[in-house]
């Protein structure tokens, strides 16, 4: 089993900290992507990672991951064998494994059988197949909204009344 700790940043992972520096250079460095849908990094099912993961493009995880995932311009694929204990913020995510933590996607969350999600999810589009396990709250947002859909009373736009012409909060 491969164990890793620290911070991993892709697609350019030259300046990384952790025991995986002993890996061959070809495994530590990923060239800049030309196709954003191509999976550029793969954490196999015998991999254990603890820390922060930041990336652009696409990454697939089939191992154990504990920590935080931040990829507002990335796609995360979680394989059937994967187990994540993580708060996640990505552009889109496809889940077939187990996730324990909150998930925010700027575009889409797709949970497929035999996926299991234990935590709150938030995205403009949420797809949950029949037969998955989901325990948490789900909030769908407009594609332009990045934060909570709950309106802030201090930031509401005044509305002009059609008949009187008076603005009301």
Q: What's the predicted TM-score (pTM) here?
A: 0.66
**pLDDT, greater one: 51 or 147:** 51
pLDDT in tens, 16-68: 344 444 444 444 344 343 444 577 788 888 899 999 999 989 999 999 999 99
* CA-wise closest residue to 74 among 95, 86, 88: 88
pLDDT above 60 (res 123) = yes
Model pLDDT, residue 32: 42
3-state secondary structure 74-123: EEEEECCCCEEEEEEEEEEEEECCEEECCEEEEEEEEECCCCEEECCEEE
Model pLDDT, residue 64: 96
pLDDT above 80 (res 81) = yes
Model pLDDT, residue 41: 81
Q: Which structural domain range is residue 146 located in?
A: 2-168
Domain tally for the chain?
A: 1
pLDDT above 90 (res 102) = yes
pLDDT in tens, 2-12: 445 555 554 43
């Amino acid at each position: 089993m491969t164990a890793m700790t620290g911070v991993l940043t892709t697609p350019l992972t030259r300046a990384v900290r952790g025991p995986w520096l002993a890996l061959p250079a070809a495994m530590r460095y990923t060239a800049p992507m030309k196709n954003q849908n191509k999976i550029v990094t793969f954490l196999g099912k015998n991999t254990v990672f603890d820390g922060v993961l930041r990336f652009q493009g696409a990454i697939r995880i089939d191992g154990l991951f504990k920590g935080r995932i931040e990829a507002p311009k990335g796609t995360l694929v979680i394989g059937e064998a994967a187990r994540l204990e993580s708060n996640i913020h990505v552009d889109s995510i496809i889940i077939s494994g187990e996730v324990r933590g909150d998930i925010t996607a700027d575009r889409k969350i797709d949970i497929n059988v035999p996926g299991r999600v234990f935590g709150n999810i938030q995205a403009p589009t949420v797809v949950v197949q029949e037969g998955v396990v989901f325990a948490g709250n789900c909030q769908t947002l407009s594609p332009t909204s990045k934060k909570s859909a709950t309106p802030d009373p201090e930031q509401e736009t005044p509305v002009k009344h059609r008949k009187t012409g008076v603005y009301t909060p």
